[in-house]
Structure 1
Amino acid sequence: MTITNNELVDVDQQSVDKKRFLVKLTGVIAGGMFIDGYILGIIGTVIGAITLDLGMSLYWEGLIGASALIGIFIGGPLGGWLADKLGRKPLFTIDLLIFTVGSVLQFFVDSAWHLFLVRLLMGIAIGADYSVGWPLLAEFSPRRLRGRLMAFSEVAWYLGFMTAFVAGFLMTAVWSLDWRIVLGSSTLPAVILLLARLGMPESPRWLMNKGRTEEATEIAHTYLEDPADVLDTTSEPTRKGTFGMLFSPSYRRATIFISVFWFCVVAPYFAIATFAASVLADYGLGDGLVGALGINGLALAGVVISVILIERIGRRKLTIPQQWVCAAVLAAIGLWTSAPPVLVLIGFLVFAFANAMCTALTGVYPGEIFPTEIRGLGTGFATAFSRVGAGLGTFLLPWSMHNLGAGTTMLIAAGICVVGASVSQVLAPETMGRSLSETSAPHQR
């Protein structure tokens, strides 16, 4: 059989088109993580101004700081259930539209209640995006790059969080803009991302799971880069997912692992990073902004390292040791309350770096260890559970620092890290190099 030059050109063009699609898909999913990090980070730069302007108590300060996280708690499982039931494609656009509306509404808030409700709505949209974006990327990514591409979304999150601190400083300290404008600045990236997501295809695995074989096959051949992944898609069973499957003997270990791991990783980080300036000030580090940027900069470096290493050394080696490091560092800071400020800062920087390395895996595991019929729901449930930790940490940290002291607060954070490390040591699977059918198979847990 002779292959003509035209046929070779067509094959090459198809390969290029598939790579371009994968880059775009990764970009628009990472964009969702960027705006998530942005809205969660930007609140920390103006929370003081909001408190003064609206006359808020410590209670309201913590509640406003946690409002988006509470929304993610609601939106995660709701969006995951809808994504598994109605498809990834429609939710992928709708959640960004809701987020954009909420972002615009921030320009017009005039009370603590209004601000809480608006950011709650934005959090619901972001929670839904977690439950749609990661499953979608897992179902389109080639197995040799799946971990790296999914972990990259965490790079975007930290970039968004860090960008928020820089942008917040410029808009407040340099340009003296009203805090409503600072919060509403998230509208610009949201609109750009919304437009970029238009026209994305449905997941072939979701279509196959729903019995829409012809559509699934066509999309798989058009967009999947690896022929082995195309073949693996055809083995997708047609079955209905239920919430109870998360706690069935086949998947409860996966559910417990990712939920507890994610909870324990984000709870101390969100608390410390959201109020980094005030936390560092309590330890005698006057320039809280520089310290906050340092913490988030090291966190960004940590997650980049994980992206580089994840397909070389596997998931477990990037998940477990780092949590023990975080526990040890926070315990040292909590016990040595009279430590020189520079050592405290170094400790927080080491914590941020190690914490970010394992946080990168929170964007990888959910898409790999749950099967297609509950991939969105499983991701959403774990997202919600993790945001209980993040929300409690953000809400309670101001109270704990004020009433229990910095030392006790850091020891509590260290204890949370120990729980996460212990659970991961026992339950974390190794999924590197395996197909989704293999990583989500019941017998793997």
Structure 2
Amino acid sequence: MSNQDIPAGTLGLSPAQPHTRGNAPAHGPVSLDDVPLNRFHVKIAGLTFGAHFTEGFALGTIGYALTSLNRQMPLDTFWTGMIGSSALMGIFLGSLVFGWLSDKLGRQKIFLLSFLIITLAAFAQFYVTSPLELVLLRVLIGFGMGGDFAVGHAILAEFSPRKQRGTLLGSFSVIWTVGYVVANVLGMEYANASPDAWRWLLASAGVPALIVLIARMGTPESPRWLHGKGRVAEAKAIVLKHFGPNVTIDGGDDEHTRLSGGFARLFRKDLIRRTIFNCAFFVCLVIPYFAIYTFLPTILKAIHLNDGSGADFLLNGFLVLGALIGIWLTIKLSRRMFLIGSFAVTCLSLVALSVLPESATLAMIVAFAVFTLTMSAFSNLVGVFPPECFPTEVRACGVGLAIACSRLGSAVGTFLLPLGIAQLGFHATMMVLAAVLLIGMVVSIAWAPETKHLTLNQASGS
């Protein structure tokens, strides 16, 4: 039986024990890409999943906190948009800065530093006295999140076996969505419990952040990054400890590993198409996602679905269900087919919302539900495509740049959404967002690569 034939569909765990914890077949070496899933993989996944829960929770608290906050500190549309988009602006900056630093200095340092920043800034939200202070703190939270998005995707991809990589990376979206929905449910239940309820709601994000920060202490450096930097002995020691003596790191001596990293590398001939694709599809996906779900209460009010019909609970349920379905579809479908088809469905759903009359309550709920289910499902791909498209020496930079572009776009979209609904109306605003999704579909048809069966060492193809 060859290395590629090792059964992995059951995601069975191999024990990880030093030196004899071998997960490789006894008859010969096995690539790090093809080592069976073990407990160490699950631990790394848990550390990144916990981070995504925290990030979804921290972003999800703001929608309902704004309603409570507005009664204590009246906000105009400018400050409403600024607070709603501030974390996204921070993610833009953090993903660029920490993505670059992660490729230069290593994954492990940023893995810890990003969550130290998130924890401190999240708790500090309790004490804000002005909209400006809240904006600055949420920019700081986003700065830490941007770093964690860049390094978290990179480090999990570099440790994950090829056969389970799509499942593990795609699960980021599920865990993020769960955190986001938990925050929404808490907001629905407690945002109006007291005049200061918004303070408790926002600061509560510091609790899971602190847990993740403590759990991450002692995480090893990525052996792929060490190997690419010529620190071969350190890389082999980590592989030996966690995967066994027969496991090897492929690609350490190839042409791409010897090339220098940095953002300029992303725009060389062999990577530029993948760089543009990842930035463009990511932007087109998250603009409607964040614009709509950051201001879900406002949107439901605009279409008269905030009347106790339970539409908000239903849509949050579809967010979780869609994320779970997305994992299954990531396994079953090609990456490319899943992406293009989902752009088409979400685009048509928003077109339907834009043309349906407000009296067609049931039809609008159905269209919104289809949009929510599909958007949540293929959001899994934002955790899969970028780390699979870039080689190790620029993986965090590539992921960071894609995230930065997406968050810049979504910050602009989130800032403009309240103004759009106020000036253009709900239906015209939904049509604009549908156009964004159509652009994403066209870009994906033109440039989306198929990365499902690639090793990370093959991630430099044009």
In the superposition, the TM-score normalised over structure 1's length comes to 0.93
Q: Which runs of 5+ in 1 are unaligned?
A: 1-7
- Find the residue that maps to 1:188 and give its secondary structure: helix
The code of the aligned residue for 1:427 comes to W
Question: Do the aligned partners of residues 28 and 157 (structure 1) sit closer, same or farther apart at CA in structure 2, a change above 3 Å counting?
Answer: same
Q: Which has the higher helix share?
A: 1
Q: 1:310 aligns with which of 310, 330, 342?
A: 330
Provide the rounded CA distance (Å) in 1 between the counterparts of 2:162 and 2:279: 23
Q: 2:261 aligns with which of 224, 241, 263?
A: 241
Question: Do the aligned partners of residues 238 and 223 (structure 1) sit closer, same or farther apart at CA in structure 2, a change above 3 Å counting?
Answer: farther
The code of the aligned residue for 1:434 comes to L
The structural deviation recorded for 1:329 is: 1.0
The code of the aligned residue for 1:86 comes to L
Provide the rounded CA distance (Å) in 1 between the counterparts of 2:301 and 2:321: 24
Q: 1:232 aligns with which of 217, 235, 250?
A: 250
The code of the aligned residue for 2:421 comes to M
Provide the rounded CA distance (Å) in 2 between the counterparts of 1:289 and 1:104: 34
Query: Which piece of structure 1 moves more, 393-402 or 50-59?
Result: 50-59
Are 1:48 and 2:67 counterparts?
Answer: yes
- Find the residue that maps to 2:375 and give its secondary structure: helix
- Contact kept in structure 2, 1:127 and 1:380, CA below 8 Å: yes
Q: Which residue of 2 aligns with 1:263?
A: 283
Q: 2:106 aligns with which of 81, 87, 92?
A: 87
Question: Do the aligned partners of residues 288 and 76 (structure 1) sit closer, same or farther apart at CA in structure 2, a change above 3 Å counting?
Answer: farther
Q: Which residue of 2 aligns with 1:293?
A: 313
The structural deviation recorded for 1:252 is: 1.1
How do residues 400-439 of structure 1 correspond to structure 2 at under 5 angstroms? 400-438=420-458
Question: Do the aligned partners of residues 107 and 225 (structure 1) sit closer, same or farther apart at CA in structure 2, a change above 3 Å counting?
Answer: farther
- Find the residue that maps to 2:250 and give its secondary structure: helix
Q: 2:400 aligns with which of 380, 393, 409?
A: 380
Q: Which residue of 1 aligns with 2:418?
A: 398
How do residues 80-159 of structure 1 correspond to structure 2 at under 5 angstroms? 80-159=99-178
The code of the aligned residue for 1:254 comes to R
- Contact kept in structure 1, 2:322 and 2:374, CA below 8 Å: yes
- Find the residue that maps to 1:55 and give its secondary structure: coil
Provide the rounded CA distance (Å) in 2 between the counterparts of 1:259 and 1:339: 38
Provide the rounded CA distance (Å) in 1 between the counterparts of 2:245 and 2:445: 32
Q: Which residue of 1 aligns with 2:3?
A: none
Provide the rounded CA distance (Å) in 2 between the counterparts of 1:225 and 1:359: 35
The code of the aligned residue for 1:171 comes to Y
The code of the aligned residue for 2:286 comes to V
Provide the rounded CA distance (Å) in 2 between the counterparts of 1:289 and 1:73: 37
Are 1:199 and 2:218 counterparts?
Answer: yes
Provide the rounded CA distance (Å) in 2 between the counterparts of 1:225 and 1:403: 62
Provide the rounded CA distance (Å) in 1 between the counterparts of 2:348 and 2:197: 41
- Find the residue that maps to 2:38 and give its secondary structure: helix
In the superposition, the TM-score normalised over structure 2's length comes to 0.89
The structural deviation recorded for 1:20 is: 1.5
Are 1:160 and 2:191 counterparts?
Answer: no
Deviations 1:223-276 (A, max 9, x none): 348967x34254462332021111221111111111110111110111111111
- Contact kept in structure 1, 2:356 and 2:363, CA below 8 Å: no
- Find the residue that maps to 2:266 and give its secondary structure: helix
Q: Which runs of 5+ in 2 are unaligned?
A: 1-15, 25-35
The structural deviation recorded for 1:291 is: 2.2
Are 1:178 and 2:210 counterparts?
Answer: no
How do residues 295-374 of structure 1 correspond to structure 2 at under 5 angstroms? 295-374=315-394
- Contact kept in structure 1, 2:342 and 2:374, CA below 8 Å: yes
Q: 1:220 aligns with which of 239, 242, 245?
A: 239
Q: Which residue of 1 aligns with 2:86?
A: 67
Question: Do the aligned partners of residues 11 and 81 (structure 1) sit closer, same or farther apart at CA in structure 2, a change above 3 Å counting?
Answer: closer
The structural deviation recorded for 1:55 is: 2.1
The structural deviation recorded for 1:433 is: 2.3
Length, aligned pairs only: 434
RMSD over equivalenced CA pairs, Å: 2.2
Question: Do the aligned partners of residues 219 and 12 (structure 1) sit closer, same or farther apart at CA in structure 2, a change above 3 Å counting?
Answer: closer
- Contact kept in structure 1, 2:107 and 2:221, CA below 8 Å: yes
How do residues 29-48 of structure 1 correspond to structure 2 at under 5 angstroms? 29-48=48-67
Question: Do the aligned partners of residues 326 and 232 (structure 1) sit closer, same or farther apart at CA in structure 2, a change above 3 Å counting?
Answer: same
User: Equivalent pairs: percent with the same residue?
Assistant: 37
The structural deviation recorded for 1:188 is: 0.8
Provide the rounded CA distance (Å) in 1 between the counterparts of 2:443 and 2:305: 34
Provide the rounded CA distance (Å) in 1 between the counterparts of 2:365 and 2:422: 20
The structural deviation recorded for 1:220 is: 2.3
